[in-house]
Amino acid sequence: MLNEYLPEKLVQEMDAQRRTSVHRRLSALPDFADDLLLNSYRKTKITDIELKEIPSICETDIIPIDFIPEENNSTIKHIVLPLIDFRFNDEKENTHFRNELTIRFLTALLVDYEKQWYLGMIRRRTLYILIKSVERAKHQHSLKLHWKLIVKHFRLSKWLQNLRRFDYVKWINSQTNKLLFDHIFLTIELTLAFHSTQTRMDNIQKQFPELANIDKRIWNEVYEEIRFYHLTASYILLDLQQSYEACWRIHMTKRCAQMLLKYESKAITELYETGMLGHSVYLHILELIEKKSLNLEFYRVSMVKGHLKTIEDPFDLLSLFRSLPNDEKTRWQRIMKVKHRWYQPDHILFKKGQRIQTAYLIARGIVKCKIDAMPIYYRSGNIVGIDALFSQDVLAHDTYRVSIGLLEAYCIDGILLSQFLHDKNLAPSIYREIAVNVLINNYQERLKLNRLQLRLLVHKRAKFYWNELDISIQLKENQRLFILAGYVNHLFNGQNNKYE
């Protein structure tokens, strides 16, 4: 039997390399009748079902290489040989399948990026960044690495960070705004390019039918991972659209203009006819193309003559000050300017259990708090940590960190919080924000409401009384009173109790 798998020449070469005498020993074996060997083989043939139950060895009548017969008429005896483990190595195979599936996902992403560049949806510089990211991720079979390398470009460079320190110089401030505009433009372009691949990812199983043979659990794990990153990208895009309106408008104009050039107005016209593109925007794009006033493929984004690369003042995005009279708004704008800060992605604002000395009023960006493996995102207008700052005996409920992208926020210390609470126009909004955070962090499980429902509940039910006396509150039997600040006297059965 061995001769069928190891021809004589290969056995001789093996003897020469290993300095053995296998070929000589095999030559010394007597010739057995073919039917004898065949019957012996059939008796010991192992079925597939039996193979699955065998741990690591099996019995067979194959002649060992060190067997030398003593007599010419000797017969083959039973021999036990060590074999490889026939059990299916689930962990190893699953890892292999997962890696192969990840490579196919990354390849599909790369194809989609190149298509977006061909259609003019992204610039060549952006394509190079994405290609480099995909190639590095392929080597490590990691979708997470691909997303991480994209996010790396969201960070402000040290050069730009240093320039922002001299924003009081008009010329430097102007140049800084241009660089910041280009940086935000690239952030939008990278995020939108990644998010636009979602349709291709949903159809990847149709494009690669062989993936249907892979374990469903492995498929779901990889698919859910890429879906999580797409969901995160959608949160970022929503924030970028609302936070950097001018930059977003220029990017979408450029994107549509390229489509107009590639498809000779067909795609843009279809968007216009379906109502997805407004009439004024449609005419604006046509005008830009006719005048050739928008450079589409240059390294930096060129603006139409007379338009500047400006980033909106973050103070104007805050609903807290929006309804104030102009003179009050100007006064608070001066106060808040010195409290303005930039934070890089993944920066930790405060850790769980930490005593909070500073809360953060979010102007742009997203703050993430991970509770019970479920990430919670806070956007513009939220004040994270204000409940612990208000009640000095309360520690940080969890770890809060900057999510993907930059964060612009205003630092609120105890002195500034006191100014808010003593301002008749701002105090109601600040107390409501404190109440929402207190309920979320301490009573959410009892109330069985999500964060949005709690916020709506507070805005609907909260009452604010400013230096008013003899105000009576009637409660029904099943109602309770949640006191955030101040005190009330409770009169029941002739007894007067004071509650704070």
Give per-residue pLDDT as tens, 71-126: 444 444 443 434 344 344 567 777 888 888 888 888 888 888 988 888 778 888 89
239, 364 contact by CB (below 8 A): yes
SS3 of residue 2 by DSSP: helix
> What is the reported pLDDT for 437?
79
pLDDT score recorded for residue 42:
44
- Position 1 scores a pLDDT of 41
Higher-confidence residue of 11 and 34: namely 11
Percent of the chain with pLDDT over 70: 61
Nearest partner of 407 among 369, 366, 361, 378, judged by Cα: 366
146: buried, middle or exposed (CB in 10 Å: 19+, 13-18, 0-12)? buried
Q: Are 367 and 382 in contact (CB under 8 A)?
A: yes
If one compares 311 and 321, the residue with the highest pLDDT of the two is 321
Better pLDDT: 77 or 301: 301
Q: Between the CA of residue 17 and those of 11, 20, 64, 257, what are the distances in Å?
A: 10, 8, 19, 70
Band the pLDDT of 145: cuts 50, 70, 90.
very high
Of 210, 190, 202, 192, the closest CA to residue 226 belongs to 202
Q: Which of the two residues, 495 and 92, has the higher pLDDT score?
A: 92
Give the number of other CB atoms < 10 A from CB of residue 32: 14
Task: Name which of 211-220, 227-236, 373-382 the model is least confident about.
Answer: 211-220
Mean pLDDT score, 462-468: 68
Q: Give the range among 1-15, 321-335, 407-421 with minimum mean pLDDT.
A: 1-15
- Whether pLDDT at 190 is above 90: yes
Task: Label residue 131 by pLDDT band (50, 70, 90).
Answer: very high
pLDDT in the model for residue 150: 92
Nearest to 303 by CA among 188, 183, 181: 181
pLDDT at 134: 92
| The pLDDT of residue 191 is above 60 | yes
H/E stretch holding 179: helix 170-195
Report which of 278, 274, 137, 115 is spatially closest to residue 193, judged by C-alpha positions.
Answer: 115
Q: What is the mean predicted confidence (pLDDT) over 235-264?
A: 78
| Residue 261 confidence class, pLDDT cut points 50, 70, 90 | low
Residue 373 in this model has a pLDDT that exceeds 90: no
**How confident is the model at residue 276, as a pLDDT?**
65
Neighbours of 236 (CB within 10 A): 24
Q: Treating both helix axes as pointing N-terminal to C-terminal, what angle do 90-118 and 170-195 enclose, rounded to 10 degrees?
A: 120
Whole-number average pLDDT of the chain: 73
Q: Cβ(65)–Cβ(22) under 8 Å?
A: yes
Where helices occur in 323-374 by DSSP H, the ranges are: 326-337
Determine the pLDDT at residue 431. 82
Handedness of CA 208, 213, 216, 219 (dihedral sign): negative
Token readout for 473 is 């509150």
How far apart CA 23 and CA 2 sit, in angstroms, is: 11
Are 404 and 154 spatial neighbours (Cβ–Cβ below 8 Å)?
yes
Q: Range with the lowest mean pLDDT among 33-42, 150-159, 295-304, 351-360? A: 33-42
d(CA 119, CA 115): 6
Rounded to whole angstroms, the maximal C-alpha distance in the chain is 120
Once rounded to an integer, what is the mean pLDDT over residues 427-433? 83
Q: Where exactly does CATH 2.60.120.10 map onto the chain? A: 314-461
CATH number of the 314-461 domain: 2.60.120.10
Structure tokens at 201: 């990812």
Q: How many CA atoms lie within 13 A of 365 on its CB side?
A: 29
Q: What are phi and psi of 404, to 5 degrees?
A: -60, 130
Cα–Cα dist 419/468, whole Å: 20
